[in-house]
């Protein structure tokens, strides 16, 4: 994917960023583009917080101790947590459900220390005890551009594979996810989540990438020697392959959630497609089996382990054969043997799994031509401003309504000056005054 540059500066050449408080991983002077989000469940209340809101955010979280409180790993536009509104990638997070594998926090901590000493994993910046599990936070130095989300997905998937024996959740790689808010109470067992700083120095992406299987290679050993080198940008074909398939993996996992696990008529077809996709990302059969077994367990009627194993074996062999031929063909799909099994096109997956247009609205890559055209048309119109008068008026009114909602939320949570409100809303002070008047007029009319 052109324009998505790989990190090419060694960690040693960068200025170290010290983490003094756990919040530095989420909000700091080097991480001020966009807003992180808190999410309260089961109320589903979401709020946005900027660099100047750290103390207000902490106070707010403590005052809502009767809710399960979560915090986004990354930053978005105000009021949103959609990937299309992603502003800055700030952390890589791994969720370890250690209770599922019968491990205690002490045992899990000892295992992590061994992996760090063996240089299989970098030391996490934060270790969050979430109440029932453990969450590892790797802070990205200065944040990364949204266009690198495929790359952080790739790294996350590989780390999850290494930590699968500690209950790492395979379905948690997309950048919109939230993890437990430190200092708040887990309502399932009334245990307060705590955050320990393990490593006070943030990581550059090239260092985090140094602990995984290189994009151009197939894993040969689970143990990695220490990597402290400059990582150069791989061929465009490799970037395109992983950009597409890391998002496809997320779409497939989301499909299972949207259908609430009701996949009975499509289980074998789905699992083959999922295993093939994951096989391309992990590039080892054992990890692919772990991921696929986890998604199978989310079905209301799971397949037997033996059936899943057979499906994964077939899918992984096909994926490995594709990767080998792809590399030999200089990372180009054009010119590959016609009999070679290749990654399925979105239209093929849509047809095989009977994906509806309503479901497609939630996806990134598993979308049909009509929705793709609609999204592209909307983008092009916004880019060149070529809309009809009616469309323009409607769109502007929608923008105003959105700003009014955002302003109302801000007025509810704090006593901000017009200048502060303007900065948070991304508008002028004059515009804030206009919006306040409209809010006032609306209240009177009610």
Where is 129: in which H helix or E strand? strand 126-129
Q: What is the pLDDT of residues 321-338, one digit of tens each?
A: 999 999 999 999 999 999
Distance CA 390, CA 287 (A): 53
11-209: CATH topology: Alpha-Beta Plaits (3.30.70)
Domain spans, the chain: 11-209, 236-379, 388-445
Distance CA 329, CA 125 (A): 40
Under the banding of pLDDT at 50, 70 and 90, the label for residue 156 is: very high
Q: What is the pLDDT of residues 218-229, one digit of tens each?
A: 655 444 444 444
User: Residue 20 pLDDT more than 90?
Assistant: yes
* DSSP string for 177-193: -EEEPTTSEETTTTEEP
DSSP class of residue 98 equals G
Q: How far is CA 50 from CA 91, 120, 135, 200, 302, in A?
A: 16, 35, 23, 22, 43
Please state the φ and ψ torsions of residue 299, each to the nearest 5 degrees: -75, 145
If you search the block for the tokens 């983008």, which residue do you land on?
Answer: 379
User: Residue 65: is it exposed, middle or buried by C-beta count within 10 angstroms (0-12/13-18/19+)?
Assistant: middle
Cα-to-chain-centroid distance, residue 86: 10
Give pLDDT, residue 219.
Answer: 55
Give pLDDT, residue 236.
Answer: 84
Give pLDDT, residue 405.
Answer: 83
Q: Which residues of 97-120 are buried (b: 16+ CB within 10 A; e: fewer)?
A: ebbeeebeeeebbebbeebeeeeb
Contact between 282 and 242 under an 8 Å Cβ cutoff? The reply is no
> What do you get for the CA distance between the two ends of the chain, in Å?
51
Distance CA 373, CA 327 (A): 32
Extract the tokens encoding 158. Answer: 């590989």
Q: What is the pLDDT of residues 265-281, one digit of tens each?
A: 999 999 999 999 999 99
> Sign of dihedral through CA atoms 334, 338, 344, 348?
positive
Under the banding of pLDDT at 50, 70 and 90, the label for residue 13 is: very low
In this structure, of 248-257, 258-267, 367-376, the range with the lowest mean pLDDT score is 367-376
More confident residue, 412 or 445: 412
In this structure, of 4-18, 31-45, 139-153, 242-256, the range with the lowest mean pLDDT score is 4-18
Record the pTM.
Answer: 0.76
Strands across the sheet containing 86-96 = 75-76, 86-96, 134-144, 126-129, 194-197
* DSSP string for 245-299: HHHHHHHHHHHHHHTTT--GGGHHHHHHHHHHHHHHHH-SHHHHHHHHHHHHTTS
Under the banding of pLDDT at 50, 70 and 90, the label for residue 443 is: low
Contacts of residue 87, Cβ cutoff 8 Å, sequence gap at least 6? 33, 34, 35, 74, 75, 76, 77, 146
The torsion defined by the Cα of 372, 373, 377 and 378, in degrees rounded to 10, comes to: -40
Averaged pLDDT, 20-40: 95
Give pLDDT, residue 14.
Answer: 45
Q: What is the pLDDT of residues 335-361, one digit of tens each?
A: 999 999 999 999 999 999 999 989 998
- Closest of 324, 318, 353, 312 to residue 339, by C-alpha: 318
The torsion defined by the Cα of 24, 124, 170 and 168, in degrees rounded to 10, comes to: -120
């Amino acid at each position: 994917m052109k324009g998505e540059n790989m990190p090419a500066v060694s960690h040693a050449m960068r200025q170290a960023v010290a983490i003094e408080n756990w919040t530095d991983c989420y909000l700091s002077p080097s991480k001020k583009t966009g807003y992180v989000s808190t999410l309260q469940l089961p109320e589903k209340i979401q709020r946005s917080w900027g660099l100047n809101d750290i103390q207000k955010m902490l106070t707010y979280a403590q005052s809502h101790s009767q809710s399960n409180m979560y915090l986004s790993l990354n930053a978005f536009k105000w009021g949103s947590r959609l990937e299309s509104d992603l502003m800055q990638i700030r952390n890589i997070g791994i969720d370890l459900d250690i209770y599922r594998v019968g491990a205690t926090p002490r045992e899990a901590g000892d295992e992590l220390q061994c992996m760090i000493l063996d240089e299989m994993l970098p030391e996490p910046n934060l270790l969050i005890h979430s109440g029932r599990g453990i969450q590892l936070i790797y802070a990205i130095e200065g944040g990364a551009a949204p266009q690198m989300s495929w790359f952080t997905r790739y790294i996350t998937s590989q780390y999850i594979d290494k930590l699968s024996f500690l209950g790492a959740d395979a379905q948690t790689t997309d950048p919109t996810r939230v993890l437990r808010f430190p200092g708040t109470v887990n309502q399932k067992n009334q245990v307060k989540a705590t955050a320990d700083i393990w490593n006070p120095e943030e990581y550059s992406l090239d260092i985090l990438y140094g602990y995984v299987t290189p994009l151009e290679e197939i894993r040969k050993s689970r143990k990695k020697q220490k990597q402290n080198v400059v990582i150069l940008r791989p061929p465009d074909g490799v970037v395109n392959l992983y950009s597409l398939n890391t998002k496809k993996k997320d779409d497939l996992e989301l499909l299972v959630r949207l259908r609430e696990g009701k996949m009975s008529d499509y289980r074998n077809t789905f699992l083959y497609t999922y295993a093939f996709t994951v096989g391309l990302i992990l590039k080892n059969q054992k990890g692919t089996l772990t991921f696929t077994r986890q998604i199978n367990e989310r079905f209301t009627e799971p397949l037997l382990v033996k059936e899943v194993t057979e499906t994964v074996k077939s899918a992984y062999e096909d994926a490995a054969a594709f990767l080998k031929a792809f590399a030999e063909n200089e990372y180009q799909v054009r010119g590959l043997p016609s009999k070679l099994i290749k990654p399925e096109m979105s239209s093929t997956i849509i047809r095989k799994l009977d994906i509806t247009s309503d479901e497609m609205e939630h996806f990134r890559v598993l979308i049909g031509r009509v929705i793709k055209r609609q999204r592209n048309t909307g983008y092009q119109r916004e880019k060149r401003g070529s809309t009809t008068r009616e469309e323009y008026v409607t769109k502007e009114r929608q923008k105003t309504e959105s700003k009014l909602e955002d302003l109302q939320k801000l007025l509810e949570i704090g006593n901000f000056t017009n200048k502060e409100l303007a900065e948070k809303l991304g508008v002028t002070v004059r515009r804030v005054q206009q919006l306040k008047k409209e809010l006032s007029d609306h209240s009177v009319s009610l």
